[in-house]
Amino acid sequence: IHPDDRTRVFKHYGTLYQEGHHIHEYRFRKKDGQYLWVLDELRLIRDSEGNPDEIVGSWLDITKRKHAEDALRESELRFRMLSEYTYDWEYWINPDGKYIYLSPSCERIAGYSPEEFMSNPKLLFDMIHPDHAKKFHQHYKDETNKETPVFSVEVPIITKNGEERWLEHNCSPVFDGQGNYAGRLGNNRDITDRKQAEEMRARLNLQLEAKNKELEQVVSVTSHDLRSPLVSIEGFSDVLGTSLEEILSVLDSEGLSHGTKERLEQSVKNSRISIGYINQSISRMESLLDGLLQVARLGQVEIKKEELCMNTLMSEVLCGLKFQSEEIGAKIEIAELPSCQGDQGQINQLFTNLIGNALKYTDPDRSCLVKISGQKQGVHSVYCVEDNGIGIDPEFLEKIFILFHQLNPGATGEGLGLSIVLKIVERHGGRLWVESEFGKGSRFYVLL
């Protein structure tokens, strides 16, 4: 007999003479040293005078049964640990709609104890917000459908203390071995925080959309209002230029002293230079206004997505940049590109700006080389525009997509190209990022 069982077994043996019959279980060591479980049944036989005569007993090997019982207890413990300590509200309902089991989380989420749900199987239905009750009842309508293993619905409930909370309700029908409906297993997850975050995000998106539209209108109106005085300034500048020409013609015909004539000619020369600066400023302001309008209109133009053959589109882009690339002797290499979904006009503009930048910021010590490549990445396509230009100083990497920011203040342009690229990518739900080594070149990546 196993040492841990001896005291108990011997104690029971001592009561056999009083009780006359005894059954107990214990571990018994075999000849090979292994223990097995036995069911030991003893019965006291008495003679005709009632005196003990003999003891009859039997042993039954119950090792497999004991192992099965241990496995069952372990399984029950695991199930209870999972159900009792799970964060979600778990439940099991029989075919009659009565609860077989509820986890304690129901009280944390709904305020009602498992006992309250047990006593009122319709309590959950009563808690559903009236505006969603019909949807919740419809959810249960086909719960015995074998072809739909999991039913899921999101509904608000009114808790015991009157608070509104959102549940993600999932349930699954259970069928026995003969295919008969045997009840329903399910869980309720508190998603109140998530729903509140979604509502806040929706409100912020609406506010942002309204602000963007307002900004676009302001930019459009402001651009129009600023352009009017520019036209006037440009007109007056032309008048001043004409007046200067007339003054010069008068100087040639009048009998002025040499010194006076020289001073007036210098004044006219200085005025011409000033008018030139005025005209340059007008041109720059007009370019800025055109750029602002372009950025503003991007948010207004409807995106018409279609399947784009990117090699064909890239050929069209390079055709538009032919003069610029030939002027600097640039070499442009295009690999086989995957297709993508996008608005043809906007994607054309996107790559026109990226490649145009590569042609603009070249290194004077080496011939310009631009490589365009792409690859599929799941359902998306990633494109790369790589150049061997001047590169980007690390301190400016995070600023290059900011409106009006220029890497080289002395370069032509208004600093709008990359801002427009970013806006197009964002409107297509993609990503844009850059890798650059100052003095060696840059790689711009576009995910669409």
DSSP helix/strand/coil, 266: helix
pLDDT for the residue 345: 85
- Chain centroid, CA 325 distance in Å: 39
pLDDT for the residue 250: 67
- For the CA atoms of the chain, what is the radius of gyration? 43
The per-residue DSSP string of 218-232 comes to HHHHHHHHHHHHHHH
Query: Which helix (DSSP H) or strand (DSSP E) does residue 318 occupy?
Result: helix 310-320
How far from each other are the two terminal CA atoms of the chain, in whole angstroms? 75
Asked if domains 3-68 and 86-190 share a fold, the reply is yes
In CATH, which of 3.40.50.1100, 3.90.470.20, 3.40.1780.10, 3.30.450.20 is domain 86-190?
3.30.450.20
Provide the token pair at 328.
């600097």
Query: Which helix (DSSP H) or strand (DSSP E) does residue 159 occupy?
Result: none
Q: Which of 404, 307, 300, 421 is nearest to 357 (CA)?
A: 421
pLDDT digits (tens, 9 = 90+) for 246-258: 777 766 665 666 6
Q: Which of 370, 358, 354 is nearest to 417 (CA)?
A: 354
Domain residue limits, the chain: 3-68, 86-190, 199-298, 305-447
CB burial string 149-187: b at 16+ within 10 A, e below: eebebbbbbbeeeeeebbbbbbbebbeeeeeeeebbbbb
Query: Which helix (DSSP H) or strand (DSSP E) does residue 396 occupy?
Result: none
Distance, in Å, from the CA atom of 114 to the CA atom of 83, rounded to the nearest integer, reads 13
pLDDT for the residue 81: 61
In CATH, which of 3.30.565.10, 3.40.50.620, 3.10.105.10, 3.90.1720.10 is domain 305-447?
3.30.565.10
Burial of 357 (0-12, 13-18, 19+ CB in 10 A): buried
On whether the CB atoms of residues 59 and 42 are closer than 8 A, the answer is no
pLDDT for the residue 156: 93
pLDDT for the residue 90: 87
Distance, in Å, from the CA atom of 287 to the CA atom of 325, rounded to the nearest integer, reads 22
Residue with tokens 């009859």: 56
CA distances (Å), origin 35, targets 4, 9, 173, 281 = 12, 16, 44, 101
Cβ neighbours of residue 177 under 8 Å, at least 6 residues apart? none
Regions of the chain with pLDDT less than 70: 77-85, 140-149, 214-230, 232, 250-258, 284, 286-288, 290-301, 402-417
CATH superfamily of 3-68: PAS domain (3.30.450.20)
pLDDT for the residue 100: 86
Specify the pairing of strand 331-334 against strand 369-377: parallel
pLDDT for the residue 396: 74
Cβ neighbours of residue 240 under 8 Å, at least 6 residues apart? 271, 275
pLDDT for the residue 166: 94
On whether the CB atoms of residues 122 and 129 are closer than 8 A, the answer is no
Residues 207-215: contacts with CB within 8 Å, 24+ apart?
212/299, 213/299, 215/296
pLDDT for the residue 165: 93
pLDDT for the residue 221: 64
- Which residues on neighbouring strands pair with residue 364, listed in sequence order? none
Q: Please give the model's pTM, rounded to 2 decimal places.
A: 0.45
Cβ neighbours of residue 341 under 8 Å, at least 6 residues apart? 305, 306, 307, 308, 448
pLDDT for the residue 179: 78
CA distances (Å), origin 66, targets 7, 26, 37, 62, 71 = 20, 10, 7, 6, 9
pLDDT for the residue 423: 85
Q: What are residue 110's phi and psi, to 5 degrees?
A: -105, -15
What percentage of residues in the chain have a pLDDT greater than 70?
80
Specify the pairing of strand 340-343 against strand 369-377: unpaired
Mean pLDDT of the chain: 81
pLDDT for the residue 82: 62
On whether the CB atoms of residues 150 and 172 are closer than 8 A, the answer is yes
